Amino acid sequence: MTAPAIRLSGLKKNFGASEIIRGVDLDIHPGERHAIIGPNGAGKSTLFHLISARLPVSAGSIELKGESVVGLKPFEINRKGLSRSFQITNIFHNLSVFENLRCAVLWSLGYRYSFWHRLAGLADARLRADAVMEDIGLTRRRDTAAGILSYAEQRALEIGITIASGADVILLDEPTAGMSNTETEEAVALIRRVTEGKTLVMVEHDMGVVFGLADRISVLVYGKIIATDAPAAIRCNAAVQEAYLGTSLSHD
Amino acid sequence: MTSHVTEAVFRRGRLLLWGGCLAAAIALPLVFKSGFMLSLLCQMGIMVVFALSYNMLLGQTGLLSFGHAVYYGLGAFAAMHTLNLIGKDGGPLVVALLPLAGGLAGLLAGVVLGYVTTKKAGTTFAMISLGIGELVAACALMFPGFFGGEGGISGNRVVGKGDLLGFTWGPQVEMYGLIVAWVFVAAVAMFALTQTPLGRMANAVRDNPERAEFVGYDTQRVRYLMLILSGLFAGIAGGLTALNYEIVTAETLNAHTSGVVLLMTFVGGIGFFYGPIIGAILVTVMQIVIGGMTQAWLLYFGLFFLFMVLMAPGGIASVIAMQRNLWQAGLFGRMVPHYLAAAMPLLVLLTGLVGLIEMSYALLAGEGAGAGDTATLVMGMQLQLNTASPWLVALAVTASGMALTRWIGGRTGAAWNATLSTLHGDKS
């Protein structure tokens, strides 16, 4: 049996006296598409920040592919094959779309801190960046500065940067937030395409996206996971329905 | 496909530009033969390297340093000590390579000091760099053995008979040739660095350090490496200064020098590789030419800096880039009359202001209570400064200049905005 892609055990996070994550245990299988849902303030983004080491853990353990990653720096976790996107677009604003993607692939191709390679001569980096650019549909915006792209284009670039390095565990934080219906549909198709064969964990508010994309769903309420199951089972779960009282869990 | 074609064109244009600059640098002393001009050109070249090295931090990595003179100064002292060490035994070849000793010292200083300063970015980095700068400047006065105290240390760059192509580096024109060679090599190397993985990731760290961490880069390491390399080039500039002036004082590594390099880099434009080159040349000219004409030059420089920060925060390079955009869109011609119209009232305003400043300076610098009793030479005119008339005239010129600038400047601004919207309208 292979190790889970991510294993959280007894994970806790408190800011001063207030506990935000209150003991989370969760196994995410290799290759599954896992959604984390829950009401506002449940701690979904905080959970992502803990897994990706943006925030230090208060207690408990995080294993990535069977290896403890607690205490590592974000770049060290990234090098172990975990990549994440952000709820608030987090790109290199003054660099072009192409440069954004090329920056995202340099480390994984082994160029590290090189000042003896000429960027223009790195065919593998260029091809990889161009391929991702094609994937996310931004080829015609190749030389545009990322900062002046439209919102939907920036979101697509955000996903592109996240997957460009070829990491096999992908964390997406609200990838379709603030998008129109058509844009959301396109984004879902994009996510499905680029995370093929990878482990995907995502936080998402749009239930249509969640139930359409996820193999399994975890429901996080006040820092605890109250249920993890297949979408159909989650929809019928009494505890989940109670937590979501007054909100709709159906497609719309 | 198309992008490859444009890249090739860029590369050819770039080669032409570099070649043109080199040719101009070689031709200049043939045209301007005076010793004054030659030493001006030498100083320019040194400052170009220094400012470019500074922009590796400020423009490329987003690190605002208040202590960059430390690397420049230590490089200068190291080169001077090496020069004195090789003394009579060294040949001209060794002397020509001395800036490398400066560079090595700058690099080592970067390895040691940069380890502390680059732990953090942003304001913290700025503050630590200021602290380290003060620390090293204080050390310079505490250890007169190495730094030579108030008088500094001096040396003689002519140490051999001159068997490297017959050069002894004694005549200033030979020194100029050496500086041009070093400036060219250093500038090409610094440009090449911007085209490497480290150079690009420095930009990424500048734009968004958090994202850089999440694509696998240790931002601290990127800042550290960029600072070390920047120290190397600052040290080379310091080595050149030691050779050029044959004296190095503690002033080369103090806060004033750090401030000057910041100002020239900023005025030139930190967003473009060539910005600091323009800034270094311009500020050096101002420093030496205006500094030679009037004692008030720092005041003028301050006003000029203020004007640039308010009117063109991207520096001269950004103004040039903007005009080039207009030119390519065929809109430049539309703006020319407006530029000319705006220049007139600005000249009037400038004349009035300079008059007021110069008269104030002449009056304050005059000896004792009798100042202004006799006619004083101001701006080529004999003026009686204790009478009201020259002051009234200067005030009137200034006031009318201000009024005209407001009036015509408003129209120029409107024309500029209209042209800009046409430009962006054309693009989308």
Return the domain boundaries, chain B. 10-281, 329-427
Distances (CA, A) of A68 to A4, A49, A78, A105: 12, 16, 14, 25
Write down the residue that tokens 């955009």 correspond to.
B325
Q: Is the pLDDT of residue B10 over 80?
A: no
The mean of the pLDDT values for chain A is 93
Put simply, the answer to whether A74 touches B214 (Cβ < 8 Å) is: yes
Mean pLDDT, range A191-204, rounded to an integer:
94
Chain B contact probe: residue of A51, A52, A75, A82 with most B CBs at under 10 A: A75
Which three-class secondary structure string do you get for B238-272? HHHHHHHHCEECHHHHCHHHHHHHHHHHHHHCCCC
With H, G, I as helix, E, B as strand and everything else as coil, classify residue A122: coil
CA-nearest residue of chain B to A142? B3
Q: What is the pLDDT of residue B364?
A: 80
Average of pLDDT values for B384-405? 89
Shortest Cα distance, chain A CAs vs residue B225, angstroms:
8
Nearest residue, CB atoms, B197 vs list A84, A91, A111: A111
Q: Give chain B's largest Cα–Cα span.
A: 77
**CA dist B30 to A24, A41, B24, B26, B245, Å?**
77, 73, 10, 8, 22
Chain A hits for B210, CB-CB cut-off 8 Å, are 54, 74, 90
**Best of B213, B215, B217 to disrupt the A interface by mutation (most A CBs within 10 Å)?**
B215
**Other C-beta atoms within 10 Å of B129: how many?**
25
Q: Is the pLDDT of residue B45 over 90?
A: yes
Local confidence band at B295 (pLDDT 50, 70, 90 cut-offs): confident
Q: Which of A92, A112, A143 sits opposite B204 (nearest CB)?
A: A92
Rounded to an integer, what distance in angstroms lies between the CA atom of residue B428 and that of residue B416?
19
What pTM does this model have?
Answer: 0.92
A69-73, B89-93, B252-256, range with the lowest pLDDT: B89-93
pLDDT reading at B196 higher than 60? yes
Q: Tell whether the model's pLDDT for residue B427 goes beyond 60.
A: no
Q: Are B215 and A165 inside 8 Å of each other by CB?
A: yes
SS (H, E, C) B371-403: CCCCEEEECCEEEECCCCHHHHHHHHHHHHHHH
Distance between B215 CA and the closest CA of chain A, angstroms: 5
**Which residues on chain A are in Cβ contact (under 8 Å) with B12?**
none
Residues of B in contact with A84 (CB under 8 A): 214
Per cent of chain B over pLDDT 90 is 64
Q: According to the model, what pLDDT value does residue A251 have?
A: 46
Architecture per CATH, domain B10-281, reads as Orthogonal Bundle (1.10)
Structure confidence by residue, pLDDT tens digits, B136-164: 999 999 999 999 988 899 999 888 766 66
* Residue contact B203–A95, C-beta within 8 A: yes
The tokens of B296 are what? 């008030």
Q: Does B3 touch chain A (CB under 8 A)?
A: yes
The band of A250, judged by pLDDT with boundaries at 50, 70 and 90, is low
Minimal Cα–Cα distance from A131 to chain B, Å? 14
B8 lies within 8 A of chain A by CB: no
For an interface test with A, give the residue of B4, B206, B211 to mutate (most A CBs within 10 A).
B211
Min Cα–Cα distance to chain A from B200, Å: 7
Task: Please state the ipTM of this predicted complex.
Answer: 0.93
As to burial, measured by CB atoms within 10 angstroms (0-12 exposed, 13-18 middle, 19+ buried), residue B233 is buried
| Interface-testing mutation among A48, A52, A88, A92, with chain B (most B C-beta atoms within 10 A) | A92
- Tell me the pLDDT band of A202, cut-offs 50, 70 and 90: very high
Please tell me if residue A196 touches chain B, with a CB cutoff of 8 Å.
Answer: no
Which pLDDT belongs to residue B390? 87
Establish if B328 touches chain A: CB-CB under 8 angstroms.
Answer: no
B199 — contact with chain A (CB < 8 Å)?
yes
Question: What is the per-residue pLDDT across B63-105, written as a single tens digit (0 to 9) for each?
Answer: 999 999 999 999 999 999 999 988 766 677 788 999 999 999 9
Q: How many CB atoms lie within 10 A of CB A6?
A: 22
- In the predicted model, is pLDDT for residue A239 greater than 90? no
Q: Which residue from B minimizes the CA distance to A140?
A: B3
In this prediction, residues A227-231 reach a mean pLDDT of 94
Dihedral angle at the C-alpha atoms of A57, A60, A65, A66, nearest 10 degrees?
140
Residue from the list A102, A113, A118 with its beta carbon closest to the beta carbon of B222: A113
Q: Identify the DSSP state of A173.
A: E
The 10s digit of each residue's pLDDT in B395-421 is: 999 999 999 998 998 888 899 999 988
Residue B164's pLDDT is what?
Answer: 67
Model confidence at A106: pLDDT above 90: yes
Band (pLDDT 50/70/90 cuts) for residue B9 is low
Set out the domains of chain A in order of their start, with CATH numbers: 6-243 (3.40.50.300)
Give the nearest partner residue to B210 out of A90, A116, A164, using CB atoms.
A90
Count the Cβ atoms, other than its own, within 10 Å of residue B44: 22
Are residues B197 and A115, on separate chains, in Cβ contact within 8 Å?
yes
Q: Which chain A residue has the Cα nearest residue B62?
A: A94
* Across B166-192, average pLDDT: 93
Test A119 with B216 for CB contact under 8 angstroms.
no
Q: Which among B178, B218, B41 is positioned nearest to B96, based on CA atoms?
A: B178
Chain A residues in contact with B217 by the CB 8 A cut-off are 75, 107
Summary mean pLDDT of chain B: 90
Contact residues, chain B, for A78 at CB < 8 Å: 213-216
How far off is chain A from B109, nearest CA to CA, in Å? 20
Residue B222 in contact with partner chain A when CB distance is under 8 A: yes
- C-alpha distances out from residue A160 to A88, A106, A149, B215, B381, Å: 15, 14, 14, 11, 68
